[in-house]
A and B are shown apart, each in its own frame.
Chain A
Amino acid sequence: MSLREAIQYSLMILLYLFLQIFFMRNIVLFNYAFCFIYIAAILLLPADMDRMYTLLIAFAVGFVVDVFSNTFGMHASATVLIAYLRPFLIHYQMKSRGAERAEVGIRAQGLGAFVSYIFPLILIHHSMLFLMEMNNFGMILYTLIRIGASALFTTILIILLELFSKR
């Protein structure tokens, strides 16, 4: 990874954190759909990035969000989980398409492949987050609706941001 790319990706991570902390934390649709846009920072890292760095970046990003929302490590653990699972999914997709290089992004992958890459990871992240937050089992149905609605909302926003962003 060249220096220019490294700076570019650091700026991208900062931008997503900024979006999350200043805007998205206040936006909740119908009391159900939350948006955790910051995980895009992990999902959109280059596919050939060193896995160790990905894990550490994920922990740092999750931890910053934790500090700003008083959750003490819930975001960190969920984000580290998807950072760990991400290479497996990328590898699986690359194999099934028979592609030479692993690339991430709506332009490189096409819409269908991109959605099938981000949606499972977002779903895993949100499930982990909301299930950890749930405090009694009676809320299970309510929590499941929240997970589904939030995963959809986050996916749509990430796709929109990807469509309108110029690399």
Chain B
Amino acid sequence: MPYVDIDAPGSNQLFIGNEAIARGILEAGVGFASAYPGTPSSEILGSLAEIAQRRNLYVEWSVNEKVAIEAATAASFAGIRSLAAMKMNGLNVVIDFLSTIVLSGIGKKGLVLMVGDDPSAHSSSNESDSRPVAKWLDIPLVEPGDFQEAKDMLPYLYQISEEFGTLCILRSVTRIAHARGNVRLGKIPDIEHKARFDQFYDPAAPMPTPIMCLPSAFRHMFQHMRLERIKERFETSPLNKYVGPEKPELLIITAGSGWLYSQDAVNALKAEERIGILKLGTLWPLPEKLVRNYLNSTDKVIFIEEIDPFIENAVMEFAASFSPENRHNIFYGKHTRHLNAFGELTPDAVIKAITSVLDIKYVPRDAEYIKKIESVPANYVVDRLLTFCPGCPHRASFWAIKNTLAMDGRNGFVTGDIGCYTMALGPAGFFQTRTHQCMGAGAGLANGFGQLHRFGFDQPVISVVGDSTFYHSIIPALINGVHNHADFILVILDNGATAMTGFQPHPGTELTAMGEPAAPISMETICRAIGARVEVCDPFDLKSTTEILLDFLQQKRGVRVAIMRRSCELVRQKKEKKPYKMKIDPEKCLGEDCGCNRLCTRIFRCPGLVWDTIASKTRIDEVICNECGVCADICPERAITKEAVA
């Protein structure tokens, strides 16, 4: 695949949506981009990082989303077009800042927040829709409906941002961000960025003032005035388009991925003559005149959009202001249960909604065919539950956690966090994790549990976090715990990478996003400075990891931190050879007999170990085993052996 800065204006490239957005960022002449990784937004900064040095672009993986948007804002203040990217969870983290930046306004150059939503929450702990934030906080928001738009919207958005002096939001969803399509490239401008902070620049103020949100009520009014003007601009925006007959029987109003599904559905129903599609790109503020124009062309209207009824509610709210003789529309959508306000859209769901409104007969493929299609993957995909990779250090860490909590016997439990280790809710982590919310929540919860001893609570609490999560949002919780004498154990699974989102660097790693060397910020030093008792161990050394945890569990008070440090297997194997050659002695393997009962394939469940139902013995799956050696230490009969590879 080409780099996103490929110098071929006018050519067509097959880009995923996030690459198209990255290209758009370059074509918009952005000089500063920051992000915290999160699906489905990570590839934007990832693909910019690859080319940042040669494109005079500064990129950073920020410690968290709030710092990312604040840092990007500074660049805007100093006259550099800037952008911060994040997933919807990150948007929640930055709300407080957004609520003030809309009042203070931005600098001379544009500022865009790109947020990736994850309908169906494929890789997320929530399924929230980012768009209501735009309405709530008075921020202009656009959403691309295809890959070309994903690129083209950025230069447009920077124009809006600069002309009106406001932060703008670009919202995308998984099926735009991660699907691949044709993008016709434009030119990347050659810009000499020159940064300077004019300390009294504030176009909103009648006199020179610092950039500030005071007086807030006045600036709130001012932002509403801005939005009115932006609405005017959006009325004629090329990002909004209509296809279909002049007087359609049914009008679809859609945006984002809904645009693609709507076209598919109309096409499948051969209803091009009956149905019109109004595709909106500028979602907030809603271009009301434009919408009203199309509402007048028909009676029946259905809204096709992913997650919340955002356009649906906005249009109906606005239609409620029509005079009685003009209120002829019948609205269908999520409020009529024709579509769900959760989960992803599919062409089938859209077809079903349309056919129930228009009474069109649609015969899908016959059941036999569907059955056949569904059976195909079973021949090629291994039937396996969601689990850690073979050789993943987390499996060993949770093995030690499981055993020590069982030995302790006081019904201790793990409060979970966000990362690969979220899978410890299930068999991958032996069902140890009992709470799962957002980044940092596990440590916050542990703070609360850790105070309940005064109410008879005697269960040990272990907050398990990843290294990137630690820097992102654990440190305040740790400080809180030490200061308030909370009782809990914090386990940091330090695998040296933001592994779940694709190994992005973080403050504990040795490289910045720009590829410059960085001194890893020592988490043990931070924890010790805060005043916690800290032990560092290698989770593959099950014995000492277990001993540390048992020792921690016997200490009844205070914050104790165990740093379980071992490189993510996927990172390690890029640098090193496999350390061992694993073997199983079938003579020694007890299998299902007393004294084992398939401990390795029934409880430990590394995918590298396979239960041979015919021989009633365990086998090593040599294709996927990463030869980490941990199973040799859990085999009660020492039937599994590891031989160091020279």
Bound pair (A, B): no
Q: Interface of A with B (CB < 8 Å)?
A: none
